[in-house]
Chain A
């Protein structure tokens, strides 16, 4: 009896599976997205935008979320290689899934990075341009202070994507003879970066008590900018017109910018744009085109009070 019941139940499950499996038409291109980070909001934007383009192209898209399990990304890539899909898109640090990338390469299946990180085994990695983001905010600062005065910089050399931002800001400020970089601070990021940046900024404010002695704070990401904002407000110096900028436009930063205080600008990545551009790259390769750039940049957007709540 129990055999009959369990086999019946099993048959039910398997039948359901057959119905669920996309009985794809053979002409359709099979494209799979594998990510361990589906739960993160940015990833959902990428995937939705990707799928919109995929629908236009009538691809059979298989979105695989391994729920944080990076080894499972490799396993699923191996399965996709065996299944002989037409293209694989990953949203994970490629150095962690080299085994999967190698399997795909051996089978001649192109793999694309969707904000993954550059890797020789990827056709291209689609992401935001860190240099361009830093150029947006550093020129914003230079323009706002009319090319003269003391600027405090918050940088972080140990993390390459943030390090490049500092390089560009250095170049922009260095190009103005009357802008002086008062301090180039690397905050301790162990607690997220806000608290230590605030402490560092308090010390700098104390050392420069004259109103107007600090014209701007340029931060390579939002947390130090938020810390500097707290320090300036608590020191009662928010009326001096010190201009603060961050990068990334996280929700807390947007809120501060919308409030209209010293924190004036940040830069938002275009997550949907990254998803759509990745799909375009896939389409180009499926059409037989060769992509030469190992990294494909998607434009970013300056966020100010005017558009912070969008």
Chain B
């Protein structure tokens, strides 16, 4: 029973892969398509990885989308002002880190519920992005070519069926971030303490874990990852506008939830989040290739989340 509940989503994932491979034999199961998928999901991957860190503690961060937009805008404005790319990137990552720390302070020091605190900062970050950009999209020649070229480049992997393929830079960043979060959550005391907080905050506190400090740090990391995702987005579209990251938040939470259906006690695990993100990315990719209407696609994605999470909780009740 436990086996079924735990691996139901994974079996479903494999079923989706088999389905698309059968329906689209010439295009879906190809190296090129999979490299595309890793690139297409890279921004969500990074933001969802950061989201996993706070969700391990049973917390939420609704502000990641706005933080991503703000980071993109800050970087773009600095580049327009003639600052070098490295400076623009560093400052906007710092903005994300500080924004996350602010979330953490509201949640852990002031004691506001994460849902409410980050709902408020979501609006604040979004408003700030509009204020500093004047509501405009910053694009075209104002953005240095190297910044946009970064997202288009990658490490060449040779040829596949006569087409040159390469591992995209954005995918590499996503892999590095996933590895970092994996080490942090699964291999360090810091990670084990976060899981302890998620299990029982009171007990964690009584056993001597510095709950406030750890929550502050965790939210800061989520903010940092959100900014990184926003920068990757800005590089991919070689532009920045004050709302472009907004879609990332719900998808990141959805991916983490999909992932939780695969863990023993329904807790978020980074590798399960990765599967969650890939499920969302594969559905977009495969259904586009099958010419399924984009609105139907949204309905299907929502239905799939309900099926996966629903099956998981039914299994849990039976147990």
Chain A interface residues toward B at CB < 8 A: 1-3, 5-7, 9-11, 13-14, 16-18, 20-22, 24, 30, 32, 60, 62-72, 74-76, 78-80, 82-84, 93, 95-99, 102, 190
Assembled-state Cα–Cα distance A79/B294 (Å): 13
* B16 within 8 Å of A (CB atoms): yes
Assembled-state Cα–Cα distance A16/B270 (Å): 31
CB pair A22–B236 under 8 Å, yes or no, is no
- A-chain residues with CB within 8 Å of residue B239 when the two chains form the complex: 70, 93, 95-96
Which of chain B's residues has its CB closest to A78's CB? B36
- Find A3's partner among B8, B247, B287 (CB 8 Å cutoff): B8
- B-chain residues with CB within 8 Å of residue A60 when the two chains form the complex: 291
In the complex, which of the residues A1, A17, A60 has the most CB atoms of chain B within 10 Å of its own CB atom? A17
- A-chain residues with CB within 8 Å of residue B36 when the two chains form the complex: 75, 78-79, 82
CB pair B4–A2 under 8 Å, yes or no, is yes
CB pair A5–B311 under 8 Å, yes or no, is yes
Specify the main secondary structure of chain A where it touches its partner.
helix
* B108 within 8 Å of A (CB atoms): no
Residues in B240-262 with C-beta less than 8 Å from chain A: 241, 243-244, 246-247
- B-chain residues with CB within 8 Å of residue A21 when the two chains form the complex: 23, 287, 290-292
Stretch of B84-92, B120-128, B302-310 with 4 or more beta carbons under 8 angstroms from chain A: B302-310
Which of chain A's residues has its CB closest to B295's CB? A65
Residues in B299-319 with C-beta less than 8 Å from chain A: 300, 303-304, 307-308, 310-312, 314-315, 318
Assembled-state Cα–Cα distance A9/B310 (Å): 11
CB pair B315–A63 under 8 Å, yes or no, is no
15 pairs from A and B in contact (CB 8 Å cutoff): A1-B4, A2-B5, A10-B15, A14-B16, A18-B23, A21-B290, A22-B291, A65-B295, A76-B288, A78-B40, A79-B285, A79-B288, A82-B33, A96-B237, A98-B238
- Find B233's partner among A22, A68, A71 (CB 8 Å cutoff): A71
CB pair A80–B288 under 8 Å, yes or no, is yes
- B-chain residues with CB within 8 Å of residue A6 when the two chains form the complex: 8, 12, 307-308, 310-311
CB pair A64–B294 under 8 Å, yes or no, is yes
How many residues of B are in contact with the other chain, CB < 8 A? 58
* B289 within 8 Å of A (CB atoms): yes
Please provide the 8 A-B residue pairs with the shortest distance between their CB atoms, ordered closest to farther.
A6-B311, A21-B290, A75-B40, A79-B288, A2-B315, A3-B4, A62-B291, A83-B289
- Find B247's partner among A11, A32, A69 (CB 8 Å cutoff): A69
Assembled-state Cα–Cα distance A20/B294 (Å): 11
* B43 within 8 Å of A (CB atoms): yes
Shortest CB distance B303–A (Å): 6
Given contacts A69-B244, A95-B239, contact A84 B27 (CB under 8 A): yes
Contact pattern, B 1-24, Cβ under 8 Å of A = 1, otherwise 0: 000110010011001100100011
Which of chain B's residues has its CB closest to A18's CB? B23
Given contacts A3-B4, A17-B290, contact A96 B139 (CB under 8 A): yes
Contact pattern, B 199-227, Cβ under 8 Å of A = 1, otherwise 0: 00000000000000000000000000000
- A-chain residues with CB within 8 Å of residue B198 when the two chains form the complex: none
Assembled-state Cα–Cα distance A102/B238 (Å): 13
Which of chain A's residues has its CB closest to B316's CB? A2
CB pair B318–A20 under 8 Å, yes or no, is no
- Find B314's partner among A2, A63, A70, A76 (CB 8 Å cutoff): A2
- A-chain residues with CB within 8 Å of residue B27 when the two chains form the complex: 82-84
Shortest CB distance A4–B (Å): 9
Shortest CB distance B291–A (Å): 4
Assembled-state Cα–Cα distance A15/B131 (Å): 47
Shortest CB distance A64–B (Å): 5
CB pair A190–B300 under 8 Å, yes or no, is no
- B-chain residues with CB within 8 Å of residue A17 when the two chains form the complex: 19, 287, 290, 292, 300
Residues in B276-291 with C-beta less than 8 Å from chain A: 284-285, 287-291
16 more CB-based (< 8 A) A-B contacts, given A2-B5, A2-B311, A83-B27: A2-B8, A7-B12, A13-B303, A18-B23, A21-B287, A21-B291, A21-B292, A60-B291, A62-B288, A69-B244, A72-B284, A79-B285, A82-B27, A83-B288, A98-B148, A99-B236
